Structure 1
Amino acid sequence: NSPQTDKINQARVASLRTFYADNRCLSGDIRADAMRLGSKTNTQEVAAMKRSAISISRNPSRRAKRPYIGILSEQEQRAMNTVQHDEATQPAFAALVGLDWSDEKHDICLLAEGASKPETSVIAGTPEAIQDWIQLLQKRFGNRPVAICLEQSRGPLIYALMNYAFITLYAINPVQSAKYRETFAPSGAKDDPVDAGLLLDLLRRHRAQLTPWKPDDVQTRTIRGLSEERRHAVDMRTKCIQKLTARLKMYFPQALDWFADDLASPMACDFLLHWSTVAEVKKAKSATLRAFFHAHNCRSEALIAQRLDAIAKAVPLTEDPGIVTPAILTVQTLARVIRDLSSAVTKFDQQLAGVFASHPDAPIFNSFPGAGNVMAPRLSAAFGSDRQRWPDAGALQSFSGIAPVTERSGKSTWIHRRWKCPKFYLQTFFEYAQYSIPYSVWAGAFYRQEIAKGKRRNAVIRALAFKWMRIQMACWQQRVPYDESRYLQSLIQRGAPLAKLIQT
């Protein structure tokens, strides 16, 4: 066969390479001294494949009569590029480190440059122990670059390591690491020292396929942190409101009618703290209740009169102490928590507005219809500050879970949404697409068109988010704000099917 054929076969074999132990097969009880995993070379594997009666076929359901020679798929092309990759282009590290972290201790497997056997050690999980170990690395290797592979992209350990210029971090998805472990331990056996060795082996053998983790700038990380914590506070408040609603239905359902517009408002929370039962509120004078509503900026005399009349006619659902007494304490506790969380959300909004106002990408994300003061910072945090991180919109669409996942096996094909993805990213793009519908002409037209076809609402919003992400990626990469009129004009000029709906 020609050299080109060998290269193609090498690329295909490289993507399916199976590693073997030097002296014995790795069983479920993997030991640290068995982590020197050998492998056949590409040439040996291709030669074995040529001797085999089975050849690689582009169609898995058919047996190929000869090695396929033709146009490489995108995945095969990437594999071929990996095979042809020049090792000299890889950064030279003084040491490679696999680090398996936990709350109390960190297991370390270190392979120094030129060494044939890795070194294992364990350090405590305290900040002092981590700093001492980092200083020891820095002194031992003379401030030369050191690569560390660990199962974390955020958390206390990576926060401690990210501030050192001589350390290059490779953050591995825990699922990716678990699958790599299962390759050698199908029984499910797991041990921290072995996991550190596997991370080192993954970094040593597959570094060309791994991307170094680079933190965003301080301003972007601050925006991301504030946005995520704000979302957590909102979620906590929502759960508390649901619990409060359930408790009030047990003995005081009238309060739900009186404050149906916003049970999380300071007025509703303060009312329940003052008067937690029908009997208590009926004892209050009309002047007292009227003054309470005025103090909480309720100026509608008609609404106040309606509430006072409802209070006068209210009848307790139950007066059983076994139900009412514990429910009162629960309602008062939840009311305080909801009030504090609402105040915290307001403070998060103020902090976000101040930090995001000076962000260089603020004009870009503020230009998207419906982004507002909440979604614009979240979009900025999702894209980040490193414009080399996402080579195209497809990378971010897949990472966030907006792009669908295709599973094929034999004659069956299943397309579904991605389940294992960063939830905050998925929520950000999904919710923005939802908010954009009333504010963007084409987004609203697309939504109504797809709903009219009988598609499910969530599927339509994900499809809309998919479209928005391509537009947002182009604006972000080119550093230009979004122009709705310009985009609508481009749809009309291209003769896009959506343009007909916009023009009608």
Structure 2
Amino acid sequence: MKAYNVDNFAVLIGIDWADKKHDICEHPTGTNKYHYTVIKHTPEALHEWAMDIKQRYPEQKIAIVCELKKGPLIYALAKYDHLTLFTVNPCAVAKYRQAFTPSGAKDDPSDAFVQVEILTLHMNKLSVIEPEPAAMRTLSQLVEYRRSLVQDSVDLSNKITATLKNYYPQALEWFKEKDTYIFCDFIQKWPSLTAVKKARKQTLLDFFESHNSHYCTVNNARLDSIKNSMPLTLDEGVIVPNQMLVEVLIMQFKVLLKGIEKLDKAIKSAYKAQQDKKIFDSLPGAGPQLAPRLLVAFGSNRARYNDAAELQKYAGIAPVIERSGQKMWTHWRYSCPTFLRQTFVEWAGFSIRYSFWAKAYYEQQKAKGKPHNSIIRSLAFKWIRIVFRCWKTNKPYDESTYLAALKRRGSPLLKFAINS
């Protein structure tokens, strides 16, 4: 990663962002001057400001620091070659301000000033926003949006389940998986037990057949249950409002499912075009959902991380060790990109089913009495180191090669696996 210092820039700028306007502190290097301005949050205003800065400091580099890593402001400024964007943790700004303003007074220009001061004194410790190629940034946004929509679908599924339990619990027995079109279409067509009991047997069979449910045993069990089921309640004061709510929720659910399908197609297409695809396809248990997320987690810039430890810390997988006097304790890393940490932890959990050594490690730690979540995080820590090596050398992961390496080192992990 390229190292920067204050002398590389003609001016240092701090931006305290907001939805409608941005407070700016401008500090020409080598001077004691600070100039404060306010600009509107519009594409036109941002462009005019960026071009004005370029004209005032022609052929020179300009450093900007902000409490953001992405978002509209970053997207707007990243396209200008004369701007170098640094990011600072909002907590660092707040604590810095608090240290020198005991009264607790706060105003936006002072926040922008604090950012400039941090940039001046600690530029070598701040992260530079170096945008990935457009194709990688597209894939990055797609996988993150998909994960968010999947969580929305889980929340919506739970609401539907809770509502059906109030008046129509049998439908939950007939369809074990709720995130399917057959479940949604069934509830839309027959939103109550009374409605489905009126349906003819052949109508129900045709419905199941049209939704590719061809298992006679399953379909016959559904038909028998429909015929013999008793209503949970006959109270219209319960049935009517709950039925109306379910119908609304099901419509929302179908839109979400279609949206996730659309994103899946876009992700598949964008992922297929990536040169590093072969590396992440080789990872045990990654599959079509997690392989693109893992590729995005590492990115395409091989110089971004000097070693695996940097990524382990940035992703929040590496634990934090604190000391005070003679005491020492370890805790979860609080500040990190949540989606990135989720990606590594989720994949580590899946890898246990597909990787011999990962399963052996899990069983070994479990035998020591370690809790499940701790084991998965430790496994993710190990996996990052392994995949980092594959990523740096541009070679796919090979389980047999890694097992051979464990054998050469005389790893107790293999002995545990054989004995268990």
Residue 276 of structure 1 pairs with residue 221 of structure 2: no
Which of 173, 189, 194 is equivalent to 2:110? 194
Query: 1: CA distance between counterparts of 2:7 and 2:230?
Result: 77
Letter in 2 for 1:450: Q
Which of 315, 321, 339 is equivalent to 1:424? 339
Other-structure match for 1:204: 120
Residue 267 of structure 1 pairs with residue 182 of structure 2: yes
Letter in 1 for 2:367: A
Letter in 1 for 2:309: G
Query: 2: CA distance between counterparts of 1:403 and 1:192?
Result: 34
Greater shift after overlay, 389-398 or 437-446?
A: 389-398
Letter in 2 for 1:184: F
The alignment partner of 1:319 has SS state of coil
Superimposed CA distance per residue, residues 117-155 of structure 1 (whole angstroms, 9 cap, x where no aligned partner) = 110010111111111111111111114211001110000
Letter in 2 for 1:340: V
Greater shift after overlay, 249-258 or 207-216?
A: 207-216
User: What aligned pairs does 1:123-162 form with structure 2 within 5 A after superposition?
Assistant: 123-162=39-78
The alignment partner of 1:263 has SS state of coil
Query: 2: CA distance between counterparts of 1:480 and 1:180?
Result: 44
Letter in 2 for 1:385: S
Residue 122 of structure 1 pairs with residue 66 of structure 2: no
Query: 2: CA distance between counterparts of 1:384 and 1:186?
Result: 42
Superimposed CA distance per residue, residues 86-119 of structure 1 (whole angstroms, 9 cap, x where no aligned partner) = x9x6552121101100001100110124432110
Residue 370 of structure 1 pairs with residue 278 of structure 2: no
Other-structure match for 1:404: 319
Tell me if structure 1 keeps the 8 A contact 2:6–2:120. no
User: What aligned pairs does 1:310-325 form with structure 2 within 5 A after superposition?
Assistant: 310-325=225-240
Residue 335 of structure 1 pairs with residue 335 of structure 2: no
Superimposed CA distance per residue, residues 413-470 of structure 1 (whole angstroms, 9 cap, x where no aligned partner) = 2212223321111110001111111111100111111112211001011111111010
Other-structure match for 2:146: 230
Superimposed CA distance per residue, residues 36-73 of structure 1 (whole angstroms, 9 cap, x where no aligned partner) = xxxxxxxxxxxxxxxxxxxxxxxxxxxxxxxxxxxxxx
The alignment partner of 1:437 has SS state of helix
Deviation at 1:298, TM superposition (A): 0.9
Superimposed CA distance per residue, residues 218-255 of structure 1 (whole angstroms, 9 cap, x where no aligned partner) = 12211111110110010000000111111011111101
Greater shift after overlay, 163-172 or 354-363?
A: 354-363
Query: 2: CA distance between counterparts of 1:223 and 1:213?
Result: 18
Greater shift after overlay, 335-344 or 375-384?
A: 335-344
Which of 144, 161, 167 is equivalent to 1:245? 161
Query: 1: CA distance between counterparts of 2:86 and 2:361?
Result: 40
Other-structure match for 1:472: 387
Letter in 2 for 1:352: I
Larger radius of gyration: 1
Query: 1: CA distance between counterparts of 2:14 and 2:344?
Result: 34
Per the normalisation by structure 2, the TM-score is 0.96
Tell me if structure 2 keeps the 8 A contact 1:247–1:327. yes
Residue 302 of structure 1 pairs with residue 217 of structure 2: yes
The alignment partner of 1:203 has SS state of helix
Other-structure match for 1:8: none
Residue 347 of structure 1 pairs with residue 262 of structure 2: yes
Which of 206, 214, 220 is equivalent to 2:136? 220
Structure 2 unmatched runs, 5+: none
Query: 2: CA distance between counterparts of 1:129 and 1:328?
Result: 50
Deviation at 1:159, TM superposition (A): 0.3
Superimposed CA distance per residue, residues 174-229 of structure 1 (whole angstroms, 9 cap, x where no aligned partner) = 12222222221234332111101111111122223223221112122111111101
Deviation at 1:499, TM superposition (A): 2.1
The alignment partner of 1:401 has SS state of coil
Higher relative contact order (CA 8 A, sep 6+): 2
Query: 1: CA distance between counterparts of 2:334 and 2:169?
Result: 38
Greater shift after overlay, 319-328 or 294-303?
A: 319-328
Tell me if structure 2 keeps the 8 A contact 1:220–1:380. no
The alignment partner of 2:321 has SS state of strand
Deviation at 1:258, TM superposition (A): 0.6
Letter in 1 for 2:217: A
Other-structure match for 2:409: 494
Residue 441 of structure 1 pairs with residue 362 of structure 2: no
C-alpha change, 1:184 and 1:90, in structure 2 (3 Å) is closer
Superimposed CA distance per residue, residues 251-277 of structure 1 (whole angstroms, 9 cap, x where no aligned partner) = 1110110112x1111000011111111
Other-structure match for 1:258: 174
Query: 2: CA distance between counterparts of 1:186 and 1:314?
Result: 69
Letter in 2 for 1:331: V
Query: 1: CA distance between counterparts of 2:103 and 2:204?
Result: 68
4+ aligned runs moved over 4 Å, structure 1: none
Letter in 2 for 1:351: A
Among the aligned pairs, what percent are the same residue?
Answer: 44
Tell me if structure 2 keeps the 8 A contact 1:99–1:150. yes
C-alpha change, 1:467 and 1:145, in structure 2 (3 Å) is same
Per the normalisation by structure 1, the TM-score is 0.80
Number of residue equivalences? 417
Deviation at 1:386, TM superposition (A): 1.7
The alignment partner of 1:186 has SS state of coil
Other-structure match for 1:22: none
Other-structure match for 1:47: none
Letter in 2 for 1:211: S
Other-structure match for 1:292: 207
Residue 177 of structure 1 pairs with residue 117 of structure 2: no
Residue 98 of structure 1 pairs with residue 23 of structure 2: no
The alignment partner of 1:438 has SS state of helix
Deviation at 1:502, TM superposition (A): 4.0
